Structure 1
């Protein structure tokens, strides 16, 4: 004979709290202090109690589910955002379901349909291209949503959370120009993505204004191995630039792999500015100077914006949130100036980090 499933009443009795407190712990409808939360979860574990989501949804009319769609879960940037969103949502009684579009628009449409079938209370999405999927356009009429990263902020269909990508590109280029570099190449994934196009134009415009020439744009794609092959083929036919700016974490790995294949010393023969900032970048023999996106702040802002929209309904106007990237200075950029002084023509100071310590320094 199968054992009768434990009830919420039994959990409350074992934890020494009211049924309402148990309900609030699992639903997140009202705040419960950490001590009582732990008592309830401990009692639930001992009894083998599991919340009946279907029954709860029928009673409350709410799923307490948030859907998250990203282009690629193997990309550290997107995986970190998902992890931060899960933590924030869980703290407020929401479960998170996640899907990846694998950077494919057909798969993206299929994944969106699957996510929406769960009837989530909100959606956070990173589109895989500059084209907003029809499923999102339709869903936004009734579903609170926030779009992150690969979106244009102008005329957006929903709240957006992005960084100032044009400025991020400028910062990378100015740092290289300040160190005396003039022959600079830019490694991009796809110019079809608004953020990448903006980063590219930010860097290219500063370089062209200073040198009189547009920099070489290397289209490396979103696959590390394919990007490495593309760059190796290009290097066979072209002289090595003084420096390469890699505008995503994936293109950074493609650039490093190609340079390693030819045993090209960084920064002795080529300087590199990476994008995003992860532990492995400082753990190398030569730490990578990098443009750091505020990934924690991106996830936190996206969650708060979605939560406010869920609670506030359609009363909140659609608005963009634009955050700022920062420069982390390490050892991958060679100083070609022969002088510690910065060029007088180049624009004003900005905040940077040198080996983990923030300082005021000219970023040009």
Structure 2
């Protein structure tokens, strides 16, 4: 027999024992009786099998590593998302390998390549702007399970977990309309992301439903950050006819909008209605408390991890697309009395 090709399976077949028994002998386990141990060791010597302990240790270690890549850890939403993932991953006996792409595709490619080299069991990815299916093809082609969260990735053979962005935006704008607002802006977010398009679609649908004329000037894009929210207000202040309320792309933008309003002598929740999107932990304790569309980031992270572990444990990569429901949480920033969360149909 060719020594290079000798494997544990060959040793097991020759000895008339299972592959796991041979593995136990190689590891020096006391669970194997002396007679079987001697027989297996003799065949190992005869057939010339070489035990690569380093490779075995690497296989054991990497089989319990889950890669997680998010696009913006400076945003509380993604930090809470990662916490939710970690809760599930750790309880299942895995360790998470967390990386932050910072919206850089090059950085994302580097960290995914590094994770692949370290033999991750699976990957959860919140993709950077402009990510395409080919960017994760080496992983999917090699059979590594991948779950994409938050942003969709058309053409990728992966499972996807998204929130109902359109329905959430529609419900938020409907609420502002019910409070008497007619000049409602959409503030923040990158134009070239699917999430932006979905939330703007819900915003537009609600305005059309209320017979409110669409004004593209009232869709004011910016970085989806607190600084982006401040910048949006500065641009709004020069409008000849300003909005009286806004749905913000996310909570980070909403916090910045509140900062910008105060800097211009306008009190959020009184002189201007503000609604965010995400419901991060700080939303409840902000002043004023932020009305927002709750995505439940920790819950979303837990569900993404459960979806990935299901594929890892089954050994099958089944493509699933799950859209999680959202709910409008009404607090003070929109100028309305505090009410119980409203479920979105």
Compute the TM-score of the two structures, normalised by the length of structure 2. Answer: 0.77
Q: Give me the whole-angstrom Cα distance separating, in 2, the residues matched to 1:246 and 1:279.
A: 17
Correspondence for 1:168:
168
Correspondence for 1:138:
138
Correspondence for 1:349:
none
Instruction: Provide, for residues 122-181 of structure 1, a one-character-per-residue CA deviation record: whole Å limited to 9, x for no partner.
Output: 0000001253263312211221110000115x6542000111111111111111111111
Q: Give me the whole-angstrom Cα distance separating, in 2, the residues matched to 1:279 and 1:69.
A: 21
Correspondence for 1:148:
149
Correspondence for 1:198:
198
Q: CA separation of 1:283/1:201 partners in 2, compared to 1, >3 Å: closer, same or farther?
A: same
Q: Give me the whole-angstrom Cα distance separating, in 1, the residues matched to 2:87 and 2:66.
A: 12
Answer yes or no: is 1:271 the counterpart of 2:299.
no
Give 1:117 shift. Answer: 1.9
1:316-355 equivalent positions in 2, closer than 5 A: 316-334=317-335, 354=338
Q: CA separation of 1:127/1:217 partners in 2, compared to 1, >3 Å: closer, same or farther?
A: same
Q: Give me the whole-angstrom Cα distance separating, in 2, the residues matched to 1:329 and 1:234.
A: 24
Once the two structures are overlaid, the 10-residue window that deviates more, 92-101 or 187-196, is 187-196
1:61-210 equivalent positions in 2, closer than 5 A: 62-132=62-132, 134-141=134-141, 142-152=143-153, 155-210=155-210
Contact 2:165/2:199 (CA < 8 Å) preserved in 1? yes
**In the alignment, which of 290, 300, 303 is matched to residue 301 of structure 1?**
303
Contact 1:232/1:258 (CA < 8 Å) preserved in 2? yes
Gapped regions of structure 2 (runs ≥ 5): 1-52
Q: Give me the whole-angstrom Cα distance separating, in 2, the residues matched to 1:208 and 1:157.
A: 36
Q: CA separation of 1:275/1:85 partners in 2, compared to 1, >3 Å: closer, same or farther?
A: same
Give the number of equivalent residue pairs.
Answer: 290
Instruction: Provide, for residues 222-251 of structure 1, a one-character-per-residue CA deviation record: whole Å limited to 9, x for no partner.
Output: 343244224313322443311011121222
Q: CA separation of 1:186/1:58 partners in 2, compared to 1, >3 Å: closer, same or farther?
A: closer
Correspondence for 1:236:
238
Once the two structures are overlaid, the 10-residue window that deviates more, 257-266 or 232-241, is 232-241
Q: CA separation of 1:250/1:176 partners in 2, compared to 1, >3 Å: closer, same or farther?
A: same
Q: CA separation of 1:324/1:227 partners in 2, compared to 1, >3 Å: closer, same or farther?
A: same
Q: CA separation of 1:359/1:60 partners in 2, compared to 1, >3 Å: closer, same or farther?
A: closer
Gapped regions of structure 1 (runs ≥ 5): 1-52, 336-352
Give 1:88 shift. Answer: 1.2
After superposition, the CA RMSD in angstroms is 2.5
Q: Give me the whole-angstrom Cα distance separating, in 2, the residues matched to 1:83 and 1:56.
A: 31
Q: Give me the whole-angstrom Cα distance separating, in 1, the residues matched to 2:249 and 2:285.
A: 20
Contact 1:225/1:254 (CA < 8 Å) preserved in 2? yes
What SS does the corresponding residue of 2:238 show, helix, strand or coil? helix
Compute the TM-score of the two structures, normalised by the length of structure 1. Answer: 0.73
**Rg: which structure is higher?**
2
Structure with greater helix share of residues = 2
Q: Give me the whole-angstrom Cα distance separating, in 2, the residues matched to 1:253 and 1:285.
A: 9
